[in-house]
Structure 1
């Protein structure tokens, strides 16, 4: 299993957090289970080799898209594949969809929509270019050119809510919501309504998801910290709140996840 990320160009850094690649070059005969978790950001995803089956309840499953957009999510989803695969992703700030495609993040919340449905003919052409690219550096060049062309034509040049969302992410979800509303010179009701349009969630739920993502990013099974230490370091009031949010957003107890043996964590721990 191989995972790596690539930084965007300076022109795109305000909208794109990174590009990423996940590949499995050999198949052992045992299906690989991949688990997506709650995330406050948006992803453009291209399966250039292999297509996953999404595992639903009651032992049902459906074929996932070959390329599409995954919106801000407060839930986890499970996928399976029994062959080699390669995935190329674009990790976007949630407000990027509004600024680049005039699609509010709220319209994509907890949704996974195939590329053609959401971007039409343009999405189909983009998918074909990404799928036919000889390597991931070429894929980065293709998607960068596409996004920069959208960036040059965007109508929204300065959006205060975008900076507010970036601040919450920069501070790992520790920003005070009331202070953010005051700084925006909006009433709390106006602030919450505008924030939800650009982030997909209320400010409170968004900060909870960002704190959860901080725990995923900063700690691994190699850390000697206790769950209480991790909870405190990530801004949780206590361990019980940390465990509650972690189970809600990942489906795992944090003790199981950080052991490195939980389902869907192989790409993280290798």
Structure 2
């Protein structure tokens, strides 16, 4: 696999976490891959062969060529049909809402064609320009021009939502809304309402996803099976709490994660992020 990430222009850096590209040679015995929640929304362009996304154990859809994948709260199961080539923009949890008028909660746990979120002609033009671009540098230039134009049409980031997300990220998900708002608890209901509108998850849900990310990266980077230490350093109450959350978001026990070939793509994303 060839997975690369690229930083956004400073004008978009508060909203776009990174751009990424992925290339995987065609394999005759390609395995299903389990893509895990990461708290981000992504705009993905499929440049290679088709990719299946399973909606049940046996049923699947062919993913559209240009989609936005909203917040996911359970694994996505995908399977390549041949050569994989993708280019994508990964947005901070509060980022993508600034470019669309559709509520981000409506994007959850599915892929939405970009032509349903933006004016159809400009969306199709964006898709074709990305497909025809000769390299990733040109693709970044194209998508940033598109996003910059859309951003000027939308409201600015809700400050209280951004502050909450930034705090959750900096504390690896281990912060309560009570401590973020401190004395101003009258804003809690407003925060939760605006947060869900702009992020697509509740603050508590996003905190759980971020904390799981921390544990996953430790598991991948250290190749350790000391689950008690990982649970402690990731701010879980105990090992049982860690295992419960891990299985909720991944569908498997953490001890099986490293050896599961269906997790290979998620492992690349997490170690490369």
Same fold per superposition (TM over 0.5): yes
Partner SS, residue 112 of structure 2: strand
Tell me the equivalent position of 1:28.
Answer: 27
Partner SS, residue 27 of structure 1: coil
User: 2:208 and 2:67 mapped to 1: Cα distance?
Assistant: 26
Partner SS, residue 14 of structure 1: coil
Tell me the equivalent position of 2:3.
Answer: 3
Gaps of 5+ in 1: none
1:34–1:120 distance in 2 versus 1, CA, 3 Å: farther
With structure 2 as the length reference, what TM-score do the two structures score?
0.89
- 1:154-179 deviation digits (Å, cap 9, x = unpaired): 32265321221122122210122212
User: 1:151 and 1:192 mapped to 2: Cα distance?
Assistant: 23
Q: Alpha-carbon deviation of 1:2?
A: 1.0
More deviation in 43-52 or 185-194? 185-194
**1:78-117 matched pairs, under 5 angstroms:** 78-117=77-116
Aligned length: 268
More deviation in 220-229 or 243-252? 220-229
- 1:222-267 deviation digits (Å, cap 9, x = unpaired): 433511111111111111111111111112211111x243413157
User: 1:149 and 1:251 mapped to 2: Cα distance?
Assistant: 40
With structure 1 as the length reference, what TM-score do the two structures score?
0.90
In the alignment, is the contact (CA less than 8 A) between 2:36 and 2:266 conserved in 1? no
Tell me the equivalent position of 1:213.
Answer: 213
Is 1:173 aligned with 2:209? no
Partner SS, residue 5 of structure 2: strand
In the alignment, is the contact (CA less than 8 A) between 2:67 and 2:113 conserved in 1? yes
Tell me the equivalent position of 2:19.
Answer: 19
User: 1:58 and 1:164 mapped to 2: Cα distance?
Assistant: 37
Tell me the equivalent position of 1:245.
Answer: 245
User: 2:198 and 2:157 mapped to 1: Cα distance?
Assistant: 14
Tell me the equivalent position of 2:134.
Answer: 134
Gaps of 5+ in 2: none
In the alignment, is the contact (CA less than 8 A) between 1:53 and 1:62 conserved in 2? yes
More deviation in 146-155 or 80-89? 146-155
1:77–1:188 distance in 2 versus 1, CA, 3 Å: same
**1:21-60 matched pairs, under 5 angstroms:** 21-24=21-24, 26-60=25-59
Partner SS, residue 23 of structure 1: strand
Tell me the equivalent position of 1:118.
Answer: 117
1:194–1:154 distance in 2 versus 1, CA, 3 Å: closer
User: 1:115 and 1:61 mapped to 2: Cα distance?
Assistant: 20
Q: Alpha-carbon deviation of 1:89?
A: 1.1
Tell me the equivalent position of 2:229.
Answer: 229
User: 2:61 and 2:75 mapped to 1: Cα distance?
Assistant: 16
- 1:2-59 deviation digits (Å, cap 9, x = unpaired): 11111111111100011111111x3231123222212321100110111211123241
